[in-house]
Amino acid sequence: MTRRRLIGGAGAAGAAGLVLGAAGGATGYAATRPDEPTALTAVGSTQVMFHGKHQPGITTPLQACGHLVAFDLVPGAGRKEAAALMRRWSATAGRLMAGEPAGSGAADGPDHDTGIALDAGPSSLTVTFGFGRTFFERTDLTDRRPPGLDPLPPFSADRLDAARSNGDLWVQIGADDALVAFHALRAVQKEAAPAARVRWQMNGFNRSPGATAEPMTARNLMGQVDGTNNPKPAESDFDRRIFVPDSQGASGASGAQGGTDAKYDWLAGGSYAVVRRIRMLLDDWEKLPQERQEQVIGRRKKDGAPLSGGTETTAMDLDRAGSDGKLLIPDNAHARISAPEKNSGAAMLRRPFSYHDGISADGTPDAGLLFICWQADPLRGFVPVQRKLDRGDALSPFIRHEASGLFAVPGGAADGEYVGQRLLES
């Protein structure tokens, strides 16, 4: 019997025929799935807009899976090739985020799209683009490179792999469906040729929407609620902390933000992304009793509440002591050292993915956090906080920073524009 006749016969016989002719695993699957196709759910139908004042993927709620990929322009490629690439990438991202095929129609032909995400909705897909420091050298635009892209200082706990750090161009892809995210990744990779080639790629995940009884802050691979103190879009100073202001009327903005000099106008409405691959030494961490883990973090593992009391959203009482006179939130607790009130108000929007890349040669899990934080000025956001953590964070013995990148992320593209157009066509 041919494969075509076998499939046809199975379709005519219905799902029951498949169950009768299959092993127990298939029987179990059929017993828990309806015979009729399931309609597109709220998860699959959710769409994020590509065009706007800011690029997507910054304030978008955490997605279930993601890909981070950096590219270098190939030898001989410059500003012209970079502009053509950003035009292609922006057009493709706009179509994919709308749930459409990657191909643009007649120009690409009906088979241009890989078909990986056929039948899926947009699934909250976002594609975000950024420029690294070296991008401006390759495109002869060093006079337009903002001071916020000055190299990050070294930190004592860094064990950075240069091959997995930095890059001319950076793309962040996120979605609530793994195939939709991979579909976008392949489209971006294909469109990169012949102007750029992949420098490094990292793949991550978060909890799937609907996996908990009610919405809650995500957990990381240490089991800790992670992201409680993130700035909230509803806060009056959110935009000032996260997005680069316009040069006009941006009184008080620092030069590092690129907000007081017209040559940095292309970055208005954009942000800076600091990307760090942070290995978690899970075997060592999991040996600690839960009480000790909570003291390292400064929060309860069960619900993320501060050790000073209350719920997850209760403000930390950093001065509260127990009956023994000791601070309830220890001096070196991660939550204390990284708190904005302990860092002159420095704040970042943390939007990470977890990762697991198998087992290392020493038999330990190669797993941890793809740390991504957004801010209007990394010299006022990430750098001062990381310096303090570097000097005495109780979490430091259980993590290792293995890769790093800093990228200027332009503002969003207006309808009919591509991301970075104000820089590349100025």
> Which of 141, 130, 128, 194 is closest to 168 using CA atoms?
130
374 contacts 273 by C-beta, under 8 angstroms: yes
- Sketch the domain layout of the chain as residue ranges: 9-37, 42-424
Phi/psi for 259 (5° steps) reads -110, -5
What does pTM read for this prediction? 0.88
> Which of 56, 104, 75 is closest to 269 using CA atoms?
56
Residue 117: per-residue pLDDT: 94
What's the average pLDDT block by block, 10 residues per block, for the chain (426 residues)? 39 39 40 54 91 98 97 98 98 97 57 87 98 98 97 94 98 98 97 97 95 89 94 94 74 42 93 98 98 98 97 95 96 94 88 97 97 97 95 96 98 97 95
Residue 248: per-residue pLDDT: 40
Residue 112: per-residue pLDDT: 76
* DSSP reduced 3-state for 371: strand
Q: Which value, to the nearest 10 degrees, does the dihedral of the CA atoms of residues 17, 21, 25, 30 take?
A: 0
Token code pair at residue 297: 């973090």
Q: Given the structure tokens 């962040």, which residue do they identify?
A: 172
Task: For the beta carbon of residue 26, count every other beta carbon within 10 angstroms.
Answer: 14
CA distance 291 to 293: 5
Residue 210: per-residue pLDDT: 87
Q: Catalytic amino acids?
A: 226
200 contacts 167 by C-beta, under 8 angstroms: yes
Residue 39: per-residue pLDDT: 63
> Which of 411, 345, 425 is closest to 130 using CA atoms?
411
